[in-house]
Amino acid sequence: MAKAGMRRPDPKEPHGTESNHISRFPKNKVRPVPALQGKAKSAGEKAPPM
């Protein structure tokens, strides 16, 4: 229900995310980078190479 001073939306028009369009973007084929573990994750200094 519309509040005072707001326009009443038409119920026949799509609003929000109600649409029938399909997102057409390619999937990411690159594997994610592994997260740092242990002391290197919480320390403020650079971690040694793996």
Q: Tell me, what's the pLDDT at 37? A: 80
- Residue type present at position 46: K
Whose tokens are 């929000």? That residue is: 16
Which of the four pLDDT bands, split at 50, 70 and 90, describes residue 18? low
Question: Does the structure show a pLDDT above 60 at 12?
Answer: yes
User: What is the rounded distance in angstroms from the CA atom of residue 25 to the CA atom of residue 2?
Assistant: 36
CA pair distance 17, 7, nearest whole angstrom: 19
Distances (CA, A) of 47 to 31, 33, 34: 22, 15, 14
Residue 27 pLDDT greater than 80, yes or no:
yes
- pTM confidence score: 0.27
Is residue 15 pLDDT above 80, yes or no?
Answer: no
**Using an 8 Å Cβ cutoff, are 2 and 8 in contact?**
yes
